[in-house]
Amino acid sequence: MAQTQRKKKLNKPRLQLKMIGIFLAISGFAAFGQALLLAQSLMGLSVSIEDPSVARTVHDAMPGILTTNLMWTALFLLPFIFLVGVQVTHRIAGPAFRIERYLREVAESGEVSAPCKVREDDELQNLADSINRTFQRLQADQQAKAPQKAHA
Amino acid sequence: MTRKKQLRTRKLIDKSLQFRLVGAFVAVGCVATLFQVVLLNQSMLKLSESMASNGDLLLQETPPVLVRSVLITLCVLVPAMTLVGILVTHRIAGPAYRMRMHLKEIEESGEVPRPCRIRKHDELQEMCQLLNQAIDAIRPQGAQEAAQSNQERLAALEAAPSLMPGEKPTVEEPSEAPPRGHAK
């Protein structure tokens, strides 16, 4: 099981899309701020060169440059960041999905079959460990208190 | 239950989880910044080539401008992104921590306190509910009954109108009565 690749990349779409949205907002903000800052400094630079034609050319060209810039950003950067976001959030959403499925099984069957396992590189390992330890203890207590029911 | 209104004081609860995500946030922001620099640099190159005079001068002066603006961006952006990242990741790390503490309490005492609850706007709500259901399903019989009567008492207390008219109507106040181990 451990070697199979994940197929479903959006296990918990709500959580993942929310975080990816934040990723996109951050990068969009960063890109936009950077572009504006650069445009402004380049305009300042062109004025400082003592040749009015330079200033005029740069000034005229800047809107076009910024538009192309925006286009490239929307075309390449945002999809790229979306993909990165899916991969990163999957490290949380994947194990969360698995833990939830495990808990549902336990809740429905009323018994702890096997410990809940989470992929090695994923987050929430320690939560899965806590769940396993506690459930083992609870089940041991249950069997100690009502051995006849466990066999029934 | 005053804890509900408390603000979170510890922002970094699960350092490895939070730092890893914050790292991803910052990396994404830096990539975005760099992307812009490369794009604008390219545009300036083209522009200076197309210019009749002084194009070389413009090209010469461009790199320090780029470096300076990148430095400014990083100085502002990295702390801002780190902060946002910590706040966002806390919505996941916080409830995960709460559930771990809840489980630890059960493991150590062998008893099941009242159900685990997490903050309303946090993630992993569903997991918390499932956790309570699963614990209910496998908890020892005696404890189950005790908890049930406990819950009934609690419900009765919550349903009852405030006995002391002088006090503020804090309905959930009586639930503070049982000693709680994990209120640290």
The pLDDT of residue B158 is above 80: no
Q: What is the mean pLDDT of residues B128-137?
A: 87
Q: What is the mean pLDDT of residues B158-173?
A: 51
Could A31 and B28 be called an inter-chain contact, meaning their C-beta atoms sit closer than 8 Å?
no
How far apart, in whole angstroms, are the C-alpha atoms of residue A56 and residue A51? 9
How far apart, in whole angstroms, are the C-alpha atoms of residue B139 and residue B134? 8
pLDDT at A15: 84
How far apart, in whole angstroms, are the C-alpha atoms of residue B41 and residue B50? 14
Could B21 and A124 be called an inter-chain contact, meaning their C-beta atoms sit closer than 8 Å?
no
Long-range contacts of B38-43 (CB under 8 A, 24+ apart): B39/A35, B39/A68, B39/A69, B39/A72, B39/A73, B40/A35, B40/A38, B40/A39, B40/A42, B40/A65, B40/A69, B40/B66, B41/B66, B43/A61, B43/A65, B43/A68, B43/A69
What are the boundaries of each domain within chain A? 13-151
Length of chain A equals 152
- Residue B156 pLDDT class (50, 70, 90 cuts): low
The pLDDT of residue B182 is above 50: no
Could A53 and B52 be called an inter-chain contact, meaning their C-beta atoms sit closer than 8 Å?
yes
Nearest to B61 among A34, A49, A142 (CB): A49
pLDDT at B27: 87
Quote the distance between the C-alpha of residue A29 and its chain's center: 18
Q: What count of other Cβ atoms lies within 10 Å of the Cβ of residue A118?
A: 20
A38 neighbourhood in chain B, CB within 8 Å: 36-37, 40, 65-66, 69
Is A15 in CB contact (< 8 Å) with chain B?
yes
Closest C-alpha to B32, from A33, A89, A83: A33
Q: What is the mean pLDDT of residues B3-16?
A: 67
pLDDT at B1: 44
Is B24 in CB contact (< 8 Å) with chain A?
yes
pLDDT at B157: 63
The minimum CA-CA distance between A137 and chain B, rounded to whole Å, is 6
Could B140 and A99 be called an inter-chain contact, meaning their C-beta atoms sit closer than 8 Å?
no
pLDDT at B184: 37
Tokens of A93: 């959403």
What are the boundaries of each domain within chain B? 13-158
Percent of chain B with pLDDT over 70: 71
Could B141 and A142 be called an inter-chain contact, meaning their C-beta atoms sit closer than 8 Å?
yes
H-helix or E-strand containing B45?
helix B15-50
pLDDT at B169: 46
How far apart, in whole angstroms, are the C-alpha atoms of residue B99 and residue B182? 11
Bin A128: left if φ > 0, else alpha if -120 < ψ < 50, else beta. alpha
| Helix %, strand %, coil % of chain A (to 5) | 80, 0, 20
The pLDDT of residue B141 is above 80: no
Is A58 in CB contact (< 8 Å) with chain B?
yes
pLDDT at A117: 85
Could A73 and B35 be called an inter-chain contact, meaning their C-beta atoms sit closer than 8 Å?
yes
Higher-confidence residue of B163 and B65: namely B65
Q: Are B49 and A44 in contact (CB under 8 A)?
A: no
Question: Low-confidence residues of chain A, pLDDT below 50?
Answer: 1-2, 149-150, 152
Residue type present at position A75: L
User: Exposure of B3 by Cβ count < 10 A (0-12 exposed, 13-18 middle, 19+ buried)?
Assistant: exposed
Segment 103-162 of chain B within 8 Å of chain A by CB: 103-104, 106-107, 110, 112, 123-124, 126-127, 130-131, 133-143
A73 neighbourhood in chain B, CB within 8 Å: 32, 35-36, 39
A124 neighbourhood in chain B, CB within 8 Å: 17, 96
| Helix %, strand %, coil % of chain B (to 5) | 70, 0, 30
Percent of chain B with pLDDT over 90: 0
B135 neighbourhood in chain A, CB within 8 Å: 134, 138
Is B32 in CB contact (< 8 Å) with chain A?
yes
Could B133 and A76 be called an inter-chain contact, meaning their C-beta atoms sit closer than 8 Å?
no
Higher-confidence residue of B82 and B149: namely B82
| Number of separate helices (H) and strands (E) present in chain B | 4, 0
Tokens of B87: 């706040």
The pLDDT of residue B111 is above 70: yes
